[in-house]
């Protein structure tokens, strides 16, 4: 624990000295991962897949607000959809635009949850993002999580079905409408997407509510309870709705989410419950009962005056 506190103290001091550079690098890395995963999932337009183009777009996003990554990423998805087929561009692009409009009208400040949820969905560990934003974010972070899940399943469904759509209609316009309708129905009626969005939203809200409680180890209790309910929802939905739930993937997902929660607690909410104090004081109208729990800190030894003179 002492070593962890020393590492935390050094990281905190380093961040305080170089916070601007770290934020720029963080946004660059986040945008780079998001754009690379869009190209890996779709990859229809070779120009957008070039490392120079991806790096240049990520560099631009590093100096702009996080919503710029959302907008540029949505534009890349639309271009890739057009590379699949015209029906995919119209139907998939239309659903994406409607989703982005809803996102910006409800919670435009939850761009980071949206991006990280889409990235973790690609990696197969979506609960890590929900736990993290349940601990350090707010309830509206769930909006970003939901739209991150929606974007991921939209990309996957369109990529899988967009080029294989068929229609029995003779007229070209009628055939196009039927293909677009089939694609839209496949996305909207995706039960796995609905279950995942609901499970991650419930996980985030439970963690957010419970980590604010005045109990010992509140952050870990919140994360553990939320992950237990999350696993229950995934398993029950797998049985009732016959949705495949890979056991190994779920175990890895929950394990990494638990590591994320422990890391967040160690760096942001490390308390020493052994030194808890209960204080009582009063004024003319009330008695006050206060429980004080000190934070774990690293106390650096002060240099003696003789050593400072040297």
Count of alpha carbons within 13 angstroms of residue 148, beta-carbon side: 33
Residue with structure tokens 């897949």? 49
**How do residues 231-245 score in pLDDT, each as one tens digit?**
999 999 988 988 888
- Two tokens at 103? 């996102």
In a domain? residue 307: no
Q: Which residues pair with 290 in a beta bridge?
A: 279
Continuous H helices in the chain: 2-17, 19-41, 51-62, 67-84, 86-87, 93-106, 111-123, 126-136, 141-161, 172-188, 191-210, 218-240, 247-268, 305-309
Closest by CA position to 227, among listed 202, 245, 248: 202
What's the number of domains the chain is made of? Answer: 1
With bands split at pLDDT 50, 70 and 90, how would you rate the model's confidence at 29?
very high
In a domain? residue 169: no
Sort residue 280 into left (φ over 0), alpha (ψ -120 to 50) or beta. beta
**How do residues 76-118 score in pLDDT, each as one tens digit?**
999 999 988 888 889 888 999 999 999 999 988 889 999 999 9
Closest by CA position to 222, among listed 242, 202, 236: 202
Largest CA distance in the chain: 95
Residue with structure tokens 């929802």? 233
**How do residues 33-42 score in pLDDT, each as one tens digit?**
999 999 998 8
**How do residues 165-221 score in pLDDT, each as one tens digit?**
666 555 667 777 887 888 888 888 899 999 999 999 999 999 999 988 877 778 889
Integer angstrom CA distances of residue 171 from 126, 166, 175, 177: 43, 13, 6, 10
In a domain? residue 144: yes
Rounded to the nearest integer, the mean pLDDT of the chain is: 84
SS3 168: coil
Residue 15 pLDDT: 66
Integer angstrom CA distances of residue 42 from 32, 86, 228: 16, 15, 34
- Two tokens at 88? 């995919």
Count of residues for the chain? 310
Cβ distance 291 to 278 under 8 Å?
yes
SS3 217: coil
| pTM summary value | 0.83
Structural domain range at position 128: 6-163+176-299
Cα 18 to Cα 9: distance, rounded to the nearest angstrom: 14
In a domain? residue 168: no
In a domain? residue 304: no
With bands split at pLDDT 50, 70 and 90, how would you rate the model's confidence at 270?
low
Provide the percentage of residues in the chain whose pLDDT is more than 90.
Answer: 46
Residue 287 pLDDT: 77
In a domain? residue 309: no
Residue 308 pLDDT: 45
């Amino acid at each position: 624990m002492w070593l962890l506190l020393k590492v935390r103290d050094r990281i905190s001091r380093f961040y305080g000295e170089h916070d601007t550079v770290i934020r720029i690098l963080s946004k660059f890395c986040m945008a780079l991962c998001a754009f690379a995963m869009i190209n890996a999932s779709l990859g229809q337009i070779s120009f957008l897949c070039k490392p120079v183009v991806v790096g240049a777009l990520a560099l631009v996003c590093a100096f702009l607000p996080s919503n710029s990554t959302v907008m540029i990423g949505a534009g890349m998805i639309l271009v890739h959809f057009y590379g699949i087929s015209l029906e995919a561009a119209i139907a998939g692009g239309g659903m994406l635009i409607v989703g982005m409009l809803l996102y910006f009208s409800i919670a435009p400040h939850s761009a980071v949850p949206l991006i990280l949820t889409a990235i973790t969905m690609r990696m197969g560990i979506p609960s890590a993002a929900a736990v993290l934003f349940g601990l350090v974010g707010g309830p509206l972070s769930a909006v970003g999580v939901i739209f991150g899940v929606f974007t991921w399943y939209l990309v996957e469904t369109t990529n899988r079905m967009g080029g294989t759509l068929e229609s029995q209609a003779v007229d070209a316009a009628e055939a196009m409408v039927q293909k677009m309708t089939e694609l839209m129905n496949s996305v909207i009626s995706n039960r796995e997407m609905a279950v995942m969005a609901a499970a991650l939203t419930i996980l985030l809200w439970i963690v957010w509510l419970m980590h604010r409680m005045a109990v010992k180890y509140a952050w870990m209790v919140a994360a553990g309870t939320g992950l237990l309910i999350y696993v229950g929802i995934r398993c029950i939905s797998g049985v009732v709705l016959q949705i495949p739930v890979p056991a190994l993937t779920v175990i890895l997902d929950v394990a990494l989410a638990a590591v994320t929660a422990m890391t967040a607690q160690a760096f942001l909410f490390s308390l020493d419950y052994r030194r808890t104090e209960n204080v009582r004081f009063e004024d003319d109208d009330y008695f006050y009962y206060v429980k004080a729990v000190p934070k774990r800190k690293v106390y650096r030894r002060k240099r003696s005056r003789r050593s400072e003179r040297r």
